[in-house]
């Protein structure tokens, strides 16, 4: 096995990601009786999905400039009103595409 082979590295990344994900899925079920059902740990785990995704995206919004921020805000507002992730995404992308086309 040649670790420098790009194909091999890619397969390793996929296998690693798959094992981690499956481990968490099954682990959560098997550990369910041992995981604290309340208290600080549960509050932490309940808040985590939102804060993780926000952390993922916040620097990207900042880097996308003024129109990126406008597009992100429109996307957020649309999701808030319609709960439709796909429509919201289209709106954000369309705003950035239009701004670039018009050279803003």
Partner 1 sequence: MQVAVERPARSLRETAAVQLRRGFIANLPVAASVAAYGSVLGVLAAQKGIGWLMLLMMNLSIFAGSAQFVMVDMWVAPLPVVEIVIAVMIINMRYLLIGASLQPLFRGKPLGHKMGMMHLVADENWAVTMAAHRSGTATTAFLFGGGLCVLSAWCAGTMLGHRLGAVVQNPEAFALDFAFVAVFTALTVSLWRGREDVLPWLVAAVVAIGVEKLLPGKWYILAGGMAGALVPVFRRTGRKPRGENSNELG
Say whether residue 103 binds partner 1 (CB under 8 A): no
Say whether residue 51 binds partner 1 (CB under 8 A): yes
Q: How far is the CB of 28 from partner 1 (least distance, A)?
A: 2
Say whether residue 5 binds partner 1 (CB under 8 A): no
The rounded distance, in Å, linking the Cα atoms of 6 and 12 is 10
Nearer to partner 1, 2 or 53 (CB): 53
Which listed residue (66, 101, 102, 103) binds partner 1 by CB under 8 A? 101
What angle separates helix 65-82 from helix 39-63, to the nearest 10 degrees?
A: 140
Concatenated DSSP letters for 2-43? Answer: -TT-HHHHHHHHHHHHHHHHHHHHHHHHHTTTTS-SSHHHHH
Cβ(88)–Cβ(82) below 8 Å: yes
Say whether residue 39 binds partner 1 (CB under 8 A): yes
Interaction mask 58-87, partner 1, x per CB under 8 A: xxxxx-x---x--xx--xx-xxx--xxxx-
């Amino acid at each position: 096995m040649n670790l420098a082979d790009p194909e091999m590295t890619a397969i390793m990344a996929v296998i690693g990601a798959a094992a981690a994900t499956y481990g968490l899925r099954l682990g959560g079920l098997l550990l369910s009786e041992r995981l604290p059902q309340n208290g600080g740990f549960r509050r932490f785990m309940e808040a985590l999905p939102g804060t993780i995704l926000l952390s993922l995206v916040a620097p990207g919004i900042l880097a996308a400039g003024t129109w990126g921020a406008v597009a992100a805000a429109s996307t957020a507002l649309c999701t808030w009103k319609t709960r439709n992730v796909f429509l919201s995404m289209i709106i954000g992308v369309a705003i950035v595409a239009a701004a670039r086309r018009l050279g803003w």
